[in-house]
Amino acid sequence: MIDCGIIILMNLVYKSFMDQITMQPMRAARAGVRRMIKHKLKTDMTPMVDLGFLLITFFVFTAEISKPTAMNLNMPTDGPPMQTGDSRTITFLMSGNNKLFYYPGKEEDAIKNNLISLITYDEKLGIGKIIREKQLQLERSGIDKKELMVLLKPSKESVYKNTVDILDEMTINGVTRYVLVKPNSLDLKYLEKNQ
């Protein structure tokens, strides 16, 4: 027969085990998975607004810089020729093959005295240097440098880019009196000889 003490001990263990099982609350949870907590999504838009204003500022600034500028171009009117002093006049002859000739004063005197020179379109050593030297020469003789008259004579073979380069030099050097005219017969004969 089984000892009574063992039976009493088994009843106590069984009862305490059953008490522990019923004491724990019943949870309907999956094994190993925690319940996900949902938070409300809150987005701070301050950095995005800052970025937006920076982009707007950038595009406005670049649009202001890239505006095209127009240059005034004075063309002579039909009528009698305007007389200018020979000491205040420079003529630039533009021919094909990027050749540029210049002479001071009238073309008859320049051809007769062999004063026509071949120069370059360079602003430091070519056309820009010639213009600045002539302006300095006028100032030394007591004449305002704005009195300089520049005649630009592009031939049919000259390139549009070269004309724009010369017009840029007029603006850079502050020449206010310049005009585009057709080369006359003496100029054309000289250009034909020196092509």
State the Cα–Cα distance between residues 192 and 141, nearest whole angstrom. 36
Instruction: Please tell me what DSSP assigns to residue 76.
Output: P
pLDDT tens sequence across 122-142: 778 888 888 888 888 888 888
- Domains of the chain by range and CATH? 86-193 (3.30.420.270)
pLDDT in tens, 171-194: 888 888 888 888 888 878 877 777
| pLDDT single digits (tens) 5-16 | 566 656 666 665
Query: Quick one: what percent of the chain has pLDDT higher than 90?
Result: 0
* pLDDT interval class at 95 (50, 70, 90): confident
The 10s digit of each residue's pLDDT in 30-54 is 566 677 777 777 778 888 888 888 8
